[in-house]
């Protein structure tokens, strides 16, 4: 029987404890992140999440162990791939995804990477002086020329399409143009909460737009409930206010006298009188004329 190092048992135990310590657990891929950027990302998550990386084999064993205490969490373990880290937090999955996105930064391409989106060079002046740089740009497929003593890009040009490999010469030229197309950061694979595993495509939403739509839906539902006279603890006050207003309006129209309608009825009668007398002043006595002027 092969000997298993004691530190591995301890590591699996620590990882298992982490997986069962918080209600929200995520798996992220951290391959290719330079040490300084990784340290910065950990710092951004400090105090709101615990981050721990380890060997995938040990992480997988930890998920199997955690399944005994937290049902369904082993499904998240199936998403372990590449260089993996675990994040444990109290933050809800949507906020966690948004937080992870804010830790991502852009870096220069070295050549050989796959473009995640179109890499486009915009038309306009460059900081370069006329010289061999023009030929270098043109060799990289960038439409450069000299205009009024300046090296310029003649038109917008997509030099690498999304999904294509970035050639080394293109990488060198776009770096000199200060175009950094490589996004560095944690790549979230999935988040576990309350027995469910959420993938990035579900979590990637515009929170401001989502909140605005929820507020609009709430407003629409409230207006419909009031219009349909649906009584609840939210609608009862505006429904009573509307009922009181409708009853008062009806009582005034029908001339029903009470302590609430009397002022309105007197005002209505006075307005009717002044409207009528303004058209028949010749037939009024002096006292009435004075009251209506």
CATH number at residue 63: 3.30.70.1730
User: Which residue range forms the structural domain that includes residue 243?
Assistant: 210-291
Which pLDDT belongs to residue 104? Answer: 82
- List, for residues 37-63, the tens digit of each pLDDT value: 888 888 888 889 999 999 999 999 999
CB burial class (10 A; 0-12, 13-18, 19+) of residue 235? buried
Residue 1 lies in a domain: no
The structure tokens 């009584």 sit at 231
Residues 172 and 252 in one domain: no
- Is the residue at 226 inside a domain? yes
User: For residues 189 and 181, what is the distance between their CA atoms, to the nearest angstrom?
Assistant: 21
| Least confident segment among 103-107, 233-237, 278-282 | 278-282
Residue 110, domain member (yes or no): no
- Residues 174 and 29 both lie in one domain: no
pLDDT of residue 101: 86
Same domain for 77 and 21, yes or no, is yes
- Residue of 278 and 41 predicted with greater confidence: 41
**CB distance 163 to 186 below 8 Å:** no
Which has more confidence, 206 or 234? 234
Tally of structural domains, the chain: 3
Do 158 and 35 belong to one domain?
no
Same domain, 196 and 72: yes
**And the tokens for 134?**
């023009």
CATH number at residue 128: 3.90.105.20
d(CA 278, CA 293): 9
CA distance 33 to 189: 16
At 25, give phi and psi (nearest 5°). Answer: -125, 135
Average pLDDT of span 147-160: 92
Q: What is the pLDDT of residue 42?
A: 86
Confidence grade of residue 1 (pLDDT, cut at 50, 70, 90): very low
Q: How far is CA 270 from the centre of its chain?
A: 59
User: Do 59 and 192 fall into the same domain?
Assistant: yes
| Residues 151 and 254 both lie in one domain | no
pLDDT > 90: percent of the chain: 55
Average pLDDT over all residues of the chain: 88
- Min mean pLDDT across 104-108, 123-127, 160-164, 267-271 is at 267-271
> Containing H/E element for 246?
helix 236-254
**Contact (CB, 8 A) for 276 and 286:** no
Please report the pLDDT score of residue 286 as a whole number: 64
Q: Is residue 278 situated within a structural domain?
A: yes
pLDDT at 291: 58
Q: What is the mean pLDDT of residues 258-282?
A: 77
Q: What is the mean pLDDT of residues 221-236?
A: 90
Q: Tell me, what's the pLDDT at 278? A: 67
Q: Tokens 């991502």 sit at which residue? A: 104
């Amino acid at each position: 029987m092969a000997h298993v190092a004691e530190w591995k048992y301890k590591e699996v135990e620590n990882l298992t404890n982490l997986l069962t310590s918080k209600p929200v657990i995520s798996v992220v891929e951290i391959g290719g992140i330079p040490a300084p950027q990784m340290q910065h990302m950990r710092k951004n998550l400090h105090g709101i999440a615990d981050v721990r990386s380890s060997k995938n084999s040990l992480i997988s064993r930890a998920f199997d162990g955690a399944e005994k205490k937290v049902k369904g969490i082993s499904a998240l373990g199936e998403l372990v791939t590449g260089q993996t880290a675990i994040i444990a937090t109290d933050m809800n999955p949507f906020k966690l995804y948004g937080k992870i996105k804010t830790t991502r930064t852009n870096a220069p391409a070295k050549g050989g990477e796959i473009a995640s989106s179109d890499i486009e060079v915009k038309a306009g002046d460059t900081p370069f002086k006329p010289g061999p740089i023009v030929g270098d740009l043109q060799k990289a497929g960038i439409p450069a020329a000299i205009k009024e003593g300046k090296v310029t890009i003649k038109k917008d040009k997509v030099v690498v399409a999304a999904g294509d490999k970035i050639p080394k010469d293109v990488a060198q030229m776009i770096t000199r143009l200060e175009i950094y197309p490589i996004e560095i950061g944690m790549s979230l694979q999935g988040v576990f909460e309350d027995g469910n595993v959420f993938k990035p495509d579900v979590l990637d939403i515009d929170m401001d737009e989502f909140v605005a739509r929820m507020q609009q839906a709430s407003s629409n539902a409230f207006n419909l409930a009031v219009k349909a006279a649906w009584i609840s603890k939210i609608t009862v006050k505006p429904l009573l206010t509307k009922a009181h207003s409708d009853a008062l309006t009806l009582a005034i129209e029908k001339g029903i006298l009470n302590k609430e309608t009397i002022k309105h009825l007197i005002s209505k009668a006075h307005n009717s009188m002044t409207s009528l007398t303004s058209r028949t002043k010749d037939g009024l006595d002096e006292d009435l004329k004075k009251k209506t002027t």
